[in-house]
C-alpha cells in the first residue's frame, strides 16, 4: 500500500479547527435534533415495555393459567407439569423464560397450595385495599392520606 492512499488524521483536522460560526450553529442545531429524536425513542421504548408487560399480565398469563386448569390436575407434581405445559405452548428463545416466570408468580394454586374445596370455591385475588384506606381516604383525600402516612412519628409516641 502506498502512503498516498492512506488518509492522515491531520488531513481532516482542518474541518474541526475552522472557526466558522455558522458551521458551529448548524452542528448545535443538528445535535439538538438528534437528542430530541433520541428522547422520543427512549419514551417510545418505555411505552412499548409497559404495554408488553400489561399484555403479558392481562392476556397471555391468564390464558395459559386457564388452559392449565382444564389440562392439569393439582398434585405434588403440579408445578413441574405447569412448567412443561408452558414449554410446550411457548416457543424457545426470547419469550419462554419471561412467560414462565410470570405464570408461576400469578398461579393462585401455587400461592395457596392448591385449589380450594368445591364448597368454598377457587382461590381469587382479593382487593389490595385495606380497611384503614377505606376509612381514612374519604376523610383526608388520596394525596393527603399518603402525606400523612409518610410523616415521621413524633418522638413522644
Assess if residue 62 is contained within a domain.
yes
Long-range contacts of 101-104 (CB under 8 A, 24+ apart): 102/56, 102/57, 102/60, 102/61, 103/61, 103/64, 103/65, 104/79
104 and 151 in a common domain: no
Assess if residue 43 is contained within a domain.
yes
Q: pTM, whole model, 2 decimals?
A: 0.54
Please name which of 122, 112, 110 lies closest in space to residue 61, comparing C-alpha atoms.
110
Assess if residue 58 is contained within a domain.
yes
CB neighbours (10 Å) of residue 98?
A: 14
CB 108 within 8 A of CB 124: yes
Please name which of 116, 142, 113 lies closest in space to residue 129, comparing C-alpha atoms.
142
How confident is the model over 8-12, as a mean pLDDT?
A: 57
Task: Count how many domains the chain has.
Answer: 2
| pLDDT tens-digit series, residues 25-38 | 888 888 999 999 99
113 and 47 in a common domain: yes
132 and 109 in a common domain: no
Which residue range forms the structural domain that includes residue 111?
A: 22-118
50 and 106 in a common domain: yes
Determine the pLDDT at residue 3. Answer: 52
Amino acid at each position: 500500500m502506498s502512503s498516498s492512499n492512506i488518509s492522515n488524521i491531520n488531513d481532516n483536522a482542518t474541518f474541526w479547527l475552522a472557526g466558522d460560526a455558522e458551521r458551529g450553529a448548524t452542528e448545535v442545531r443538528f445535535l439538538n435534533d438528534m437528542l430530541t429524536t433520541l428522547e422520543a425513542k427512549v419514551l417510545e421504548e418505555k411505552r412499548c415495555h409497559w404495554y408488553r408487560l400489561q399484555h403479558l399480565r392481562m392476556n397471555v398469563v391468564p390464558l395459559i393459567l386457564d388452559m392449565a386448569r382444564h389440562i392439569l390436575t393439582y398434585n405434588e407434581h403440579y408445578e413441574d407439569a405447569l412448567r412443561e405445559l408452558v414449554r410446550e405452548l411457548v416457543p424457545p428463545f426470547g419469550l419462554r423464560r419471561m412467560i414462565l416466570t410470570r405464570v408461576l408468580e400469578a398461579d393462585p394454586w401455587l400461592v395457596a397450595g392448591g385449589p380450594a374445596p368445591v364448597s368454598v370455591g377457587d382461590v381469587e385475588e382479593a382487593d389490595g385495599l385495606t380497611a384503614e384506606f377505606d376509612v381514612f381516604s374519604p376523610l383526608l383525600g388520596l394525596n393527603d392520606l399518603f402525606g400523612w402516612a409518610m410523616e415521621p412519628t413524633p418522638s413522644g409516641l
